[in-house]
């Protein structure tokens, strides 16, 4: 058996999410079925750094898979890409790793980008890639409100009811909000996130951006530790996993 780390890009739209589900096709299933061709027909287990939800995209998900075939990493990448067709899932890069290496537990950081299209007209070119918010957003107010959430906190207020993490404590390292023409872009970085944490943060900051809540409100929600007090969960299609970090960094080729 040889273990490989894969740098994976996908369009989340047609999938039920990263994880295998009985309800439809997952990214995990696409990769495992492609990898079966390199594993004597048996789909191996693929594990990911972040189990993205249905509709969430990835530019740089990190996946581990073990296969029986004795192949160089470049050939594994090309073979997986061949067999994953026509699904919008591709392996950008593959490298050999030690068998016990975990993309999830060995990760030291995750970065997500959330895109809001903030204009009157619905998206044409970016349909399925952005949250369309018609009401004008004050990105500056959202950014200032976001800075009050940085650091180590109990993020229970921003956690999905379905979240399986043992502890609600997380350290938010970065939560930047900036306007780029008619887009408002949010960048979030942490060692790890709770389930729906980024989308709940975005939905809450959007309330501030629309002027419905003061800039102090997202912090008050945090301190209240009550999910029911926060804003809506922003829709999945605006969210993209942009980076997973390791120490030492993986030298993707």
Of 121 and 180, which CB lies nearer to a second copy in the complex structure?
A: 121
Residue in 53, 70, 176, 247 annotated catalytic? 53
The two three-digit tokens of residue 206, written as one number = 């959007």
Q: Where are the beta strands (DSSP E) in 150-238?
A: 151-154, 169-180, 183-190
Residues 227, 163: Cα–Cα separation, whole Å: 12
Residue numbers in the known binding site for substrate are 112
Residue 56 CB, shortest distance to a second copy, in Å, is 12
CB closer to a second copy out of 14 and 235? 14
Cβ at position 158, least distance to a second copy in Å: 26
- DSSP-derived secondary structure for 116-140: EE-SSSPPSTTTTTSEE--S---HH
> For residues 113 and 120, what is the distance between their CA atoms, to the nearest angstrom?
22
Contact set with a second copy (CB under 8 A): 9-11, 57, 59, 77-78, 81, 85, 88-92, 119-125, 127, 129, 182, 240
- Describe the crossing of helices 217-224 and 139-147 by its angle, rounded to 10 degrees: 40
The whole-angstrom separation of Cα 234 and Cα 198 is: 8
Q: How far is the CB of 108 from a second copy (least distance, A)?
A: 22
Q: How far apart are CA 102 and CA 48, in angstroms?
A: 8
Q: Which two tokens stand for residue 182?
A: 């008619």
Q: Give 27 or 222: the residue with its C-beta nearer to a second copy.
A: 27
Nearer to a second copy by Cβ, of 98 and 124: the residue is 124
Query: Considering only CA atoms, which of 186, 48, 117 is closest in space to residue 30?
Result: 48
Q: How far is the CB of 9 from a second copy (least distance, A)?
A: 5
* 3-state secondary structure at position 70: coil
Residues annotated in a binding site: 112
Residue 223 falls in the annotated catalytic set: no
Cα–Cα dist 208/201, whole Å: 11
Residues tagged active-site: 53
């Amino acid at each position: 058996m040889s273990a490989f780390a894969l740098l994976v890009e996908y369009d989340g739209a047609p999938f039920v999410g990263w994880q295998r589900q009985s309800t439809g096709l997952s990214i995990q299933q696409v990769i495992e079925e492609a990898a079966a061709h390199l594993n004597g027909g048996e789909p191996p287990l693929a594990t990911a750094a972040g189990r993205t939800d249905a509709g969430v995209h990835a530019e740089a998900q990190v996946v581990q898979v073990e296969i029986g075939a004795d192949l160089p990493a470049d050939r594994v990448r090309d073979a997986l890409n061949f067999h994953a067709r026509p699904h919008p899932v591709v392996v950008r890069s593959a490298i050999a790793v030690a068998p016990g290496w975990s993309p999830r537990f060995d990760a030291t950081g995750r970065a997500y980008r959330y895109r809001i299209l903030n204009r009157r007209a619905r998206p044409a070119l970016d349909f399925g890639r952005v949250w369309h918010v018609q009401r004008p957003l004050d990105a500056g107010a959202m950014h200032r409100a976001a800075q009050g959430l940085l650091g180590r906190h109990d993020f229970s207020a921003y956690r999905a009811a379905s979240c399986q993490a043992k502890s609600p404590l997380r350290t938010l390292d970065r939560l930047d909000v900036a306007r780029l023409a008619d887009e408002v872009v949010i960048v979030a970085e942490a060692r790890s996130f709770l389930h729906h944490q980024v989308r709940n943060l975005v939905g809450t900051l959007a309330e501030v951006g629309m002027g419905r809540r003061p800039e102090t409100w997202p912090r008050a929600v945090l301190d209240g530790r009550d999910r029911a007090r926060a804003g809506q969960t922003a829709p999945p299609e605006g969210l993209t996993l942009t980076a997973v970090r390791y120490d030492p960094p993986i030298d993707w080729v």
